[in-house]
Amino acid sequence: MTSPAFRAVQLDDIDPVPVLDGQLLWRPLRATLGVRAFGVNAYTARAAGDLVVEEHDERGTGSGHHEELYVVVAGHARFTIGGEEVDAPAGACVFLPDPAVTRAAVAVEPATTVLAIGATVGEPYRVSAWEYFFRAAPHAAAGDWEGAAAVTAEGLPDHADNAALLYNLACFEARAGRLDDAMGHLRAAAAADPEHVEQWAAEDRDLDALRDREGFPAP
């Protein structure tokens, strides 16, 4: 439901994007509502024992360096935060002010859903780099490599030096047959974060068409 004053949506009405090999469903709430001031997305675990928040901190290559609030809106989750377990039934709110702290959560019940809200302290909000290539995933799954590249490329104005975004864009372009574009973005990704890009590229079949080209990242 939309009006000039508000927008409303049911989480279950947002088409989910399978991530983490399909065990976790990402619902792009921020993009659906057009939120511009902060990040907000929903995650649903298919089964008890599945991840509902993947293990990460907010300092990684694709992250937004956010402080984050997690709200369990359905089911029951168990968080591990800096090695400490936190029981989180429906209604629990778990706030992490430090981007450096490692966090993860598993579902105690099937269909557990967690809302993640975040932004960077003291900075204007910008969409995290990972959100672009997550949004591209349905295109890639359908073999629409041009579509996947187009969605990922939307992040370039804000993340022109982000290794994760550049790397994923290179993969999609390589699959689409745009080899010169792909190689250019792969080189840029390697320049931004050589260690991670070398690891990612070592056995990535998406990049097979580039593997013999000069400048391909290798350990």
What tens digit of pLDDT does each residue of 158-195 get? 999 999 999 999 999 999 999 999 999 999 999 999 99
Residue 147, pLDDT above cutoff 80: yes
Query: What are the structural domains, with CATH classification, of the chain?
Result: 11-119 (2.60.120.10), 129-210 (1.25.40.10)
Q: What is the pTM of this model?
A: 0.88
Residue 62, pLDDT above cutoff 70: no
Residue 205: predicted pLDDT:
96
Q: What type of residue sits at position 100? A: A
d(CA 116, CA 179) in angstroms, rounded, equals: 36
**Is-contact 30 40, C-beta < 8 A?**
yes
**Is-contact 24 46, C-beta < 8 A?**
yes
State the average pLDDT for the chain. 94
Instruction: Give the bridge partners for 45, in sequence order.
Output: 24
Residue 103, pLDDT above cutoff 90: yes
Helices 194-201 & 179-192, crossing angle to 10 degrees?
Answer: 130
Category of 14 on φ-ψ map: left (φ > 0), alpha (ψ -120 to 50) or beta: beta
DSSP string, 175-207: HTT-HHHHHHHHHHHHHH-HHHHHHHHTT-GGG
Collapsing DSSP to helix, strand or coil, 84 comes out as strand
d(CA 40, CA 37) in angstroms, rounded, equals: 10
**Is-contact 18 46, C-beta < 8 A?**
no
Collapsing DSSP to helix, strand or coil, 3 comes out as coil
Token output for 32? 């659906």
**Is-contact 71 114, C-beta < 8 A?**
yes
Identity of the highest mean pLDDT range in 15-29, 59-73, 87-101: 87-101
If residue 68 lies in a helix (H) or strand (E), which one and from where to where? strand 67-74
> Confidence band (pLDDT; 50, 70, 90) for 212?
very high
